Structure 1
C-alpha cells in the first residue's frame, strides 16, 4: 500500500542529531497539546526514514501513537499517518493488530458518519489485515452503529460501511475504498472465504460477495483492485465455484468479464451462449485502465478453470472469444501470458475425448497461483 507522506517537516533539518529526534519522540506524550502537535507534525517523515526511533523502550512511542488517534484533529491525523507507515514493521503491526482496545478504537471511528479521518483509518486497518489475528473481526461483536448497520458483528459493519459509504454517501469525509484491501486479506483465510460466500441472516440472506462484485468497474482504481483481489482469493475455495458461477446465486462471471472487454463486435457464433450482460456493449466501452487489475481477473478465471464443471460452464458462455480479444488488444506481457493459459485450459480436450491435452498445458493452476499469491498480495496491498 502506498505510504503516507514521507518528507520530514521543513522545521526539521537533515542535520538534526539523533538525540534531538529521541527527545522529539518523547514529546508525543507531553501534557501540552501544542507540543504534542509539533512533535507529531515533525515526526511523520521519520516513520519511514528512521522507523527504529519508534521502537524504543519496548515500543513506548507506539503506545503514545495509539492514544493520539483520539487526540485533537490535527494531532490525530499525523498519528494515524505515522502508524500507517510503521505497520511495514511486523513487530509494530502485530502489536497493533492484537490490541483489542486499539482495534475497537479504530472500528468506532471508521464506522462513524462524522469521522474526518475515516479513509486514513481504513488504510491503517487494511495494513493490519496482513496479521492473521485480524480475522477475529469475522466474529467480533460490538455496539451497533445504528445509522450504518443492524448487525453487532464487526465484519458486517465494515461491509456496510464499504457499500453504503462509497463516494461519500455515508461520511462526507470518506469513500472507504481501502477497506477492499482488508477484505482481500480476510479472503486469504478459509473462514474469510466462508463468510463471503455464506448468506447472512442480518442482511436478508444476501451473500456478502455479491455486494462487492458490483464494484469491479467502479471509477476508483483502489476499490476495483481491492475487490478484484477479494474475488480472486475467494475463488481459492473450489467448493464455492458452482455457487459463484450460478446466475441465480452469486452470478460472478459478468463482473469479472466486463473489465476485460472493450467495444469489439463478435460474430454470431462467438455470441451464441454469451451472458446477456456482456452482449451489445456500447461503442465507448473500455477495458480496465490498469493492467494489474486485469491480470487479477484473469487469475480468477484461471482458478475457475481448475474443475471440469468450471471449464464446461466457461465454454458454454463463450469466455474464450472474450479472452482472445483481450489478448489481441492489450499490450501487456502479464495480461497476455494469462490469456494464453486460459486459452490452453479452455481449448484443450478433456479426459476421455479423442485428442490428447496439448503438450505444456497447465494441469494445476491452483498450485501455481498459490505459490505466487503472497508476493502478489503484498504488491497489491
Structure 2
C-alpha cells in the first residue's frame, strides 16, 4: 500500500492526464482512478489536499460536447462523492472558489446533460445550514426581487425547475428538491417561500405524491417541514388558500373504510379512497410527514384546524398498519397531542414555550429510553419470527 506521500505524488501526476489535450482513453482512465479514490474517506481527504487536481477536475466538468462522455460523467460523479464529505467542504471551496455558482448554473441549465449530478453535488455541499447555504443565497440574490433584477432569486428558480415538466429533458433534477430543503433551513428562504403573493408553496404540493423519485418527495416534504417552523403562517397553510393538511395526510392514508359519521369529518379529497390506495412507501418520508403535521399543531388555532379535519382518524389507521418503530413513535406523539387536553394559559404556542434545561434533558432521556424499548421489541419480534420459521413439521 502506498504511503500518503507517494499517493499524493501519484495524484499530482494525474493532473496532466485530466487536461483536454490528453488522449481520450488516457483521460478516461485517469478520471476513473479519481472516481475510485472518492469511494473512501481517506481518498476523499487526499484529493481535497490536491488543489491542482481539483482544479483540473473542475475544468473537465465544463468539457465541450466532443469530450469523451464517460470521462465527463465520471468527473461529475467524483465531485458528487467529494461534496458528500462535510469535513473537506472548506478545502474544496478554497480550491474552487467559484464552485457554488458553477454548480447552481449547471443545475438549472435546461439542456445540460449532467444537471442531475450538479444538483446532487450542490445538495451535498449545502446539507448543513452553515456557510455554503448562506453564501449560495447571497450570491444568487435572494433579496433581488425588484423589477430591475437580472434574474429570479434561487428559491423561485428552483421551484420553477422542479415544477416544470420537461424542464431538462436530458437529466433528472430530483436533487433540486434536496437543495431547496437545505436552503429552507434559513429564515430568509422560508419567508420567500411563504410569501402568499408568490404561490410557491402551492406549486410544490403536488410533488409530495411524485412517484418517480423518493428523493424528490423527501426534499419537498423537508422543505414544507422547515417552513412550518414559521408558526405565524400556520392558519394560512391550513386554510383554503393552501390546504396543506390534505396533501400531508394523503400519503399517510390507506384504503380503510370509515363510518359515514367519520367520513364526514375528513377533507373531501380523503373521503372514499379506492381499495387499492397505497401509503407512502418510504418510512423516513412518513415520519417527516407526521413531524410536519406536529409542527402545525404548535398553536391553539393550528391544533383546532388539524383536529377538525379528521387527522386522528387517518393516524389511527396508520398506527395499526405501521411496522417501523420510529414512525409508530412519531404517530403516537401526534395522537397524544390530538386527543390530549389543551395546554394551560400562556403556553398555547408550543414553539415559543421555554423548557428549563433540566426538564429538556429529562425529556430527551425518556425519548431515548422509549426508542430503545421499541427497538428491543422489534428485535425480539424478529428473533421470534426466526424461531418459528425454523420449526418444520414433526
TM-score relative to the length of structure 1: 0.78
Q: Out of 115-124 and 25-34, give the one that drifted further.
A: 25-34
Q: CA deviation at 1:309?
A: 0.9
Aligned-residue Cα RMSD (Å) equals 3.0
Matched, 1:227 2:220: yes
**Structure 2 spans left out of the alignment, 5+ residues:** 143-149, 365-394
The Cα offsets for residues 84-136 of structure 1, whole Å up to 9 and x where unpaired, read as 11113335424556866333322332222321111111101111222533345
Q: Out of 311-320 and 206-215, give the one that drifted further.
A: 206-215
The Cα offsets for residues 32-59 of structure 1, whole Å up to 9 and x where unpaired, read as 33243321122201113212321335x3
Partner of 2:157: 157
Task: Please tell me whether the aligned partners of residues 327 and 339 of structure 1 are also in contact (alpha carbons under 8 angstroms).
Answer: yes
Taking the TM superposition and a 5 Å limit, the aligned residue runs for 1:129-168 are 129-130=126-127, 131-138=130-137, 140-141=140-141, 151-165=151-165
Partner of 2:61: 69
The partner residue of 1:46 within 8, 22, 37 is 37
Taking the TM superposition and a 5 Å limit, the aligned residue runs for 1:168-317 are 169-199=166-196, 205-219=197-211, 220-248=213-241, 250-317=242-309
User: Size of the alignment, in residue pairs?
Assistant: 332
Matched, 1:341 2:306: no
Distance 2:162 2:117 in 1: 14
Task: Please tell me whether the aligned partners of residues 135 and 192 of structure 1 are also in contact (alpha carbons under 8 angstroms).
Answer: no
Partner of 1:8: none
Secondary structure of the 1:216 match is helix
The Cα offsets for residues 281-340 of structure 1, whole Å up to 9 and x where unpaired, read as 111111001111100000111111111111111111111111100001111111111111
Distance 1:42 1:20 in 2: 14
Distance 1:161 1:96 in 2: 27
Task: Please tell me whether the aligned partners of residues 327 and 336 of structure 1 are also in contact (alpha carbons under 8 angstroms).
Answer: yes
Q: Which has the larger radius of gyration?
A: 2
**Structure 1 spans left out of the alignment, 5+ residues:** 1-13, 143-149, 200-204, 354-362, 372-381
TM-score relative to the length of structure 2: 0.76
| CA gap 1:332/1:89 in 2 versus in 1, 3 angstroms | closer
Distance 1:197 1:25 in 2: 48
Q: Out of 36-45 and 94-103, give the one that drifted further.
A: 94-103
